Structure 1
Amino acid sequence: MFEPDVRRCPRCHQNRPGTAFRSASGRPTQSCSACLERSRLTNRVRRAGLGPAGRRADNLRHKYGLLPEEYDALRAAQEYRCQICGVHEDDIEAPRTGRPRSDGSPATEGVRLVVDHCHRTGRVRGLLCAGCNVMIGNAADSPEILLAAAAYLSRDAEPAPRPQLARLRILDTVPDGRPSRTVQFRGSVTIRLDGHEVHVAEGSTTTVVSPTGNFEVIT
């Protein structure tokens, strides 16, 4: 029977004190710290031999289950733009990633469009710029929060100016004929009257003389 503060590591099958099953940040771990450190060193050596392209492929496979070809196909399908804001990847500064390597080999180049995925299902949703990816992450992937934020910002948005009226005043060719009438349009308009085109500018009144008074709107 083990003491209360002793656990068996499932990797090395050794009995370790409970303090050995804590990460550097204090979070509990399944394996002991010695096994985790060996695993980190082994993985570091393995990745050092992959080269930049191999490390990129390893990152995509391990984090998102994607092949580099699948990532590039997503980029092409999105026309190399962020799926939210539409910025082109050429207009995004490439982030610096990785630590300087002791052997002088280059670190894996940071991508301009990052993979966005559902943290609940793991499904890849698309590629985003870093700003949009952080935005939806800070919103906890909640459409309700993002819609509320859009409504909040819309309150201070300046309303679009309402177009002024354009007025068409039609007179009869006979002085004592039918009464004159005025037709109003919202914004400028072009009409056809008695075979002639007449443009009525926004905010103005245009007077015409017509034997019929009949017209049609062109634009």
Structure 2
Amino acid sequence: MSTKKCRDCGQEKPVSEFWKRKASPDGLALYCKECFGLRNAKSYRGAQARLGKQARPYRRHSAVPEGMKYCPRCKETKPVEGFGRNRAEKSGLAAYCKPCHNAAMSEIKRRNHGSQRGYLLKLRYGLTEEQVEQMKTRQGGICVICLQNAARHVDHDHMTGLVRHLLCFKCNGGIGQFEDDPQLMRDAALYLELTGPHARSMLIELGTKVINRANRHVLNELRRRAKPRPMAEGSTRHYHLRQKYGIDHDDAETLLHLQKGLCAICCDKPAEHVDHDHVTGDVRGMLCTGCNTGMGQLGDDPISLRRAADYVQRRLVREVPDGEDGATRLSFTEPDVDPRTVPMDGWGPYRERDGAYRRDAAAIEEEIECLRWAEDLVASWSADGGVPAV
């Protein structure tokens, strides 16, 4: 027997359209699969109605064509390419199509976490939006590094995962470009102030700390020794260097030779970018991508760079007593000021005084370090029996 007649619809159908039934003489159900589904659906919906519930309209799953899938949210049958992957499902596909899946996830995040931002804050940092707002209030709404922009981004230590404070977008990205290395940030501050080792090297070799359109001829003697790589006069890079920095390809290659091909700040990575003063146009040196971008995001500002260095070392922000009830508040400037009392546009004077304090403190620390080095050197000479002969 290859076909059978259904008692409900009266149609002659292949036996594959009937379920198995041991009680029947032919071993097949009395009704075809489609009619069987309709009977079950009617019985189920009747039971739900008696309980005061309303079930969704009946839909036959086997009616979906090959290569298609039904989405119960938008109630449309779509190609399987429109569904995401889900290994937990027998089909390997998500229950909802991609737009419906995204909408459902957004609803769940809003219901459980208040918003998409609340979900991400909880996922990444273990914080709620209320906790972030409390942090923002304690900071006076200002970025603790630059003291110029609003604090909007949660910053955390990538080694420990611990949340530090709220920063503006540029400061958060800037310390990331410097890989949270405080020494690099302090070296960048000296580089900007033309007091670091790179500026001294430029002064010794060229007689000037910066290169500009007026004094670029000082590179001529060094160029003869450097033998820069040739480049066509009409090349894109040659034109770009002339227009933006007032130097040409040969000048850039000569500076690169002077720096031994390494970044003028970190002295560790290949120098790829010409760095210049955005106010005067003077070329300071050649930098790697990380130092060039990080310094730019921190505004080419020595104050922000030194504050950022102290910040990543946890020397910038501290808790100080606030009243007699044991409460505390944040302090991140020298001299100390309550950040909750300073308006967003009133940080200028405090920022300048703090910058002068940290510059002087860095100079004192450098002198102390030099004295320690000298003491260690003398101690090693004493241990070896005196000053070695030259």
- Aligning the two structures, in what range does the TM-score lie when normalised by the shorter sequence? 0.3 to 0.5
Q: Which has the larger share of helix? A: 2
TM-score, normalization: structure 1? Answer: 0.41
Q: Which has the larger share of strand? A: 1
